[in-house]
Amino acid sequence: MVIDVVHDMQAVFRKLLHSMSRPGEVSTLKSTIAHTDRWSCHEATYLTILTLFDAEVSFHIVSNKQKKNLEKQIAEYTLARNAPIDEADFVIVLQGTKEQTILEAMGTCKIGNLLDPQHAATWIVENERIVQEGNLILSGPGIQQQTTIQLDISDSIIQARNERIKEFPLGIDMILTDAKSQVLCIPRTTTIVLKGGTQ
């Protein structure tokens, strides 16, 4: 029913908003909407896309796999348009994408400007599993002192992300999803340090 879809999307939006205001806190996205195998992405990714995308936004999929079908599905369901990486409002990184491919995209995506810092890309990055405790130390607004997490993405990608947020308020915001319908957000205001390493 349409009412169920609207209710589910509102619930997902509230979870995403909470996660963005509490960086490093893991939430689970649940829905009565059928996530069919035709969507070649995690359920949490699918729900995030349906909730945040509309005709006013653009997206770019970063993947080493065939992505034409997913691009078409996103456009049909949300009316969002596919765009080059340097123009996209949302960047979707599918699980299994090679590190170098992600690094190249991260170096090219938009990060806003001093007049319009909000004109930056939001990254939706798939992981196999998000763990509340791990080797990444997060601190900043919304975090009491610090928290730790474990992701499947490499240290090089974390360091590349840190480079892109150095000139605050410019930067990128990240939404991490996993195969268990979990989601975790890391806004540009969050500092990430590798345990025993550097920012």
Nearest-angstrom CA–CA distance, 173 and 187: 4
Does residue 98 form part of some domain?
yes
Tokens of 19: 């996660």
Does residue 199 form part of some domain?
no
Does the pLDDT value for residue 2 go beyond 50? Answer: no
pLDDT digits (tens, 9 = 90+) for 80-116: 999 999 999 999 999 999 999 999 999 999 999 999 9
pLDDT digits (tens, 9 = 90+) for 46-66: 999 999 999 999 999 999 888
- At 151, phi and psi to the nearest 5? -125, 165
pTM of the model: 0.93
Does residue 122 form part of some domain?
yes
User: Which residue has tokens 């879809």?
Assistant: 5
Distance (Å) of CA 183 to CA 23, 75, 112, 120, 191? 11, 23, 24, 20, 18
172 residue type, one letter: I
pLDDT digits (tens, 9 = 90+) for 141-189: 999 999 999 999 999 999 999 999 999 999 999 999 999 999 999 999 9
Does residue 105 form part of some domain?
yes
Domain CATH for 127: 3.40.50.11310
Does residue 190 form part of some domain?
yes
> What pLDDT does residue 147 have?
95
Does residue 173 form part of some domain?
yes
Does residue 168 form part of some domain?
yes
User: Which residue has tokens 């947020």?
Assistant: 165
Does residue 132 form part of some domain?
yes
Residue 190 structural domain: 2-194
**Confidence grade of residue 6 (pLDDT, cut at 50, 70, 90):** confident
> What pLDDT does residue 131 have?
94
Does the pLDDT value for residue 1 go beyond 50? Answer: no
Domains identified in the chain, total number: 1
Query: Is there a contact between 165 and 140 (Cβ–Cβ < 8 Å)?
Result: no
